Amino acid sequence: MTIILSNVIISTECNYLTIINHNINGGEIYMAYEISSDCISCGACESECPVDAISQGDTQYVIDAATCIDCAACVDVCPVDAISPA
């Protein structure tokens, strides 16, 4: 379940309560995590994401800011530490 109140998103997608304070400016959403160019396209993060916000991009995996719930489930599974706070 995800509830959006103003600029706070409350989510239970990761089997625990996550409160996300997205910065919404002119309709643009800034997420808390990003995948760097260190990504080796192994796919570990994609399968870990509970809301399918991660997909293969042109050269590496990418996070869809509109779908991401900032649960950080992807961070610990990355073998090259390519996922970090934005």
Q: Which two tokens stand for residue 41?
A: 């396209």
- Structural domain count, the chain: 1
In the block, residue with structure tokens 């390519």: 82
Host domain of residue 63? 2-85
Which two tokens mark 86? 């934005």
pTM listed for this prediction: 0.67
Residue 34's CATH number: 3.30.70.20
- What string of pLDDT tens digits covers the 86 residues of the chain? 555 554 455 555 554 444 444 444 455 556 678 999 999 999 999 999 999 999 999 999 999 888 888 889 999 999 999 999 87
Task: Give 85's contacts (C-beta < 8 A, 6+ positions apart).
Answer: 32, 33, 34
